[in-house]
Amino acid sequence: MIRKIGLYIFAAALFYAGITHFIYDHGFARMLPQWVPLKLEIVYMSGITEWLLSLLLIFPQTRKAAGLATAVFLIAVLPANIYAAIYSIPAPWSEEASPAALWIRPLFQPLLIWWVLACSQDSKPAHRFDKMKGN
């Protein structure tokens, strides 16, 4: 039960994060290096990806794959979070931030990855022999 509650909280937070990509699109675009083309398009696609992943986490049939895909997604966006921390780029909804606050997001990214993997995987391992016997 705790695992399911954690999953729903994570999925809701991920869905909300996707919404913020459209509300604060230019702020998120600032988190990408100058040489990256199509910044706003990347921001919008990452927001849509967060929506899709959050919805796929809800359904048992897609939960495990969505959990793994979300972990990969969180690893993929980590460089933008590190870039923002190194170059003191404030959160998309802010004009300023302390250096310590900027490092919180990339430092907690492994915790988010653990959280989604822990909540999205089967609680009991499937046994191959039980399936073969019809149990």
- Structure confidence at residue 49 (pLDDT): 98
pLDDT of residue 24 exceeding 60, the answer is yes
Asked whether residue 134 is assigned to any structural domain, the reply reads: no
pLDDT of residue 122 exceeding 80, the answer is no
Q: What are phi and psi of 72, to 5 degrees?
A: -65, -45
Asked whether residue 130 is assigned to any structural domain, the reply reads: no
CB count within 10 Å of CB 120 equals 25
- Structure confidence at residue 123 (pLDDT): 58
What share of the chain in percent tops pLDDT 70?
Answer: 90
Domain hosting 10: range is: 2-123
pLDDT digits (tens, 9 = 90+) for 39-94: 999 999 999 999 999 999 999 999 999 999 999 999 999 999 999 999 988 888 87
Give the integer Cα–Cα distance in Å for 83 and 85.
5
What share of the chain in percent tops pLDDT 90?
Answer: 74
pLDDT of residue 2 exceeding 90, the answer is no
pTM comes to 0.84
Asked whether residue 12 is assigned to any structural domain, the reply reads: yes
Give the integer Cα–Cα distance in Å for 44 and 30.
13
Give the integer Cα–Cα distance in Å for 70 and 118.
12
- What is the average pLDDT across 102-120? 93
Domain count, the chain: 1
Asked whether residue 129 is assigned to any structural domain, the reply reads: no
Asked whether residue 35 is assigned to any structural domain, the reply reads: yes
Asked whether residue 13 is assigned to any structural domain, the reply reads: yes
pLDDT of residue 126 exceeding 70, the answer is no
